[in-house]
Amino acid sequence: MHSTLSLLHSRLTKSLPFGRSGGASIAAILLPILLLFVFSLPTAAKGNGKHLKLRLMSYNVRHLEGMDGIVSAERIAGVIASAHPDAVALQELDSVNGRTLYADQLRQLAWLTGMHPVWATAISFAGGGYGVGMLTREKPVSVRRIPLPGSEPRMLLIVETEKYVYACTHLDLTEQARLASVEIISREAAKSGKPFFIAGDLNAEPDSKVIGAFESNFQILNDTTAKTFPAPKPTECIDYIMVRKGIGIAKVRRSTVVDDPLSSDHRPLTVDLTMRWK
């Protein structure tokens, strides 16, 4: 334990490798975040044969800009750290573009949380990129990036780990594009012989045609009566975590919308689950 704390202290006293927007030592801010990992007991993905125990998270982070107008990787990383997820599906990330001073936002979050980052560009924006990302505790064994339709190009990021597959997307604002995306996602999910989870901002409420189309092939895992948007006073559930039907039985142990009205315009959600399959 002493050696771990020494390593944390050494790392925090060095400048962060965040490009133009970083560089200053912020040990006083980051130490509570990283100590949380040392002294807490996260639910690391456990698979014994064909049994799985997971905590999954989905978070639309709005290029790390809070409702106070402040862009803060440290604040979003703190939210993620407090939840102790095995994997996080992230939407609305900037990647080395002018809007957020050319910071590599996913790399920032990966460094702060100690997780593995996977990136997918949806569009070119302000001299860089904009899209979705994934953070995983396990090192991924494969990654696929599938374009989705929309008035603005969309992306499906599929990250495979040893025991499961976790996919992230942010669907279009038009219903036609969202319904077409459901078909593509369902086809891609059917290619996997492992439990396949999909998460993200789907821009659709529980009683919509889009979610009805998803339910033909997917089981919704989060509590859809718990609202996620807008963050200050949520009135809509448009963020989801689902699992493809047919592989096994997923049992939800807990579904939570994090009570955070400030860090982004969406509230993050987590699902604790166990799953068995043949």
Given a cut of 50, whether residue 130 has pLDDT beyond it is yes
Given a cut of 70, whether residue 261 has pLDDT beyond it is yes
Question: Mind listing the pLDDT tens digit for each residue in 227-256?
Answer: 999 999 999 999 999 999 998 889 999 999
Which of 45, 251, 14, 8 lies closest to 164, judged by CA? Answer: 45
Given a cut of 90, whether residue 84 has pLDDT beyond it is yes
Given a cut of 80, whether residue 9 has pLDDT beyond it is no
Question: Mind listing the pLDDT tens digit for each residue in 150-192?
Answer: 999 999 999 999 999 999 999 999 999 999 999 999 999 999 9
- Quick one: pLDDT band at residue 107, thresholds 50, 70, 90? very high
Give whichever of 7-16, 45-54, 105-114 has the largest mean pLDDT: 105-114
Question: Which sign does the torsion angle of CA 261, 262, 263, 265 carry?
Answer: positive
Given a cut of 80, whether residue 91 has pLDDT beyond it is yes
> Residue 46: its pLDDT value, please?
59
> Residue 45: its pLDDT value, please?
61
> Residue 48: its pLDDT value, please?
53
Q: What is the mean pLDDT of the chain?
A: 88
Map tokens 């949806």 to a residue.
Answer: 122
- Cβ proximity of 21 and 103 under 8 Å: yes
- Quick one: pLDDT band at residue 212, thresholds 50, 70, 90? very high
Which of 57, 73, 45, 58 lies closest to 140, judged by CA? Answer: 45
> Residue 24: its pLDDT value, please?
44
> Which has more pLDDT, 28 or 258?
258
- Quick one: pLDDT band at residue 47, thresholds 50, 70, 90? low
> Residue 277: its pLDDT value, please?
81
Residue type (1 letter), 24: A
Residue 4: Cβ within 10 Å count: 12
> Residue 253: its pLDDT value, please?
97
> Residue 50: its pLDDT value, please?
84
Name the 3-class secondary structure at 95: strand
- Compute the average pLDDT of residues 194-198: 97
CA distances from 165 to 4, 52, 80, 133, 238 (A): 31, 12, 20, 14, 22
Model's pTM, two decimal places? Answer: 0.85
> Residue 39: its pLDDT value, please?
36
> Residue 28: its pLDDT value, please?
46
> Residue 122: its pLDDT value, please?
96
Phi and psi based region of residue 55 (left: phi greater than 0; alpha: psi -120 to 50; beta: remaining):
beta
Which of 159, 165, 167 lies closest to 194, judged by CA? Answer: 165
> Residue 1: its pLDDT value, please?
45
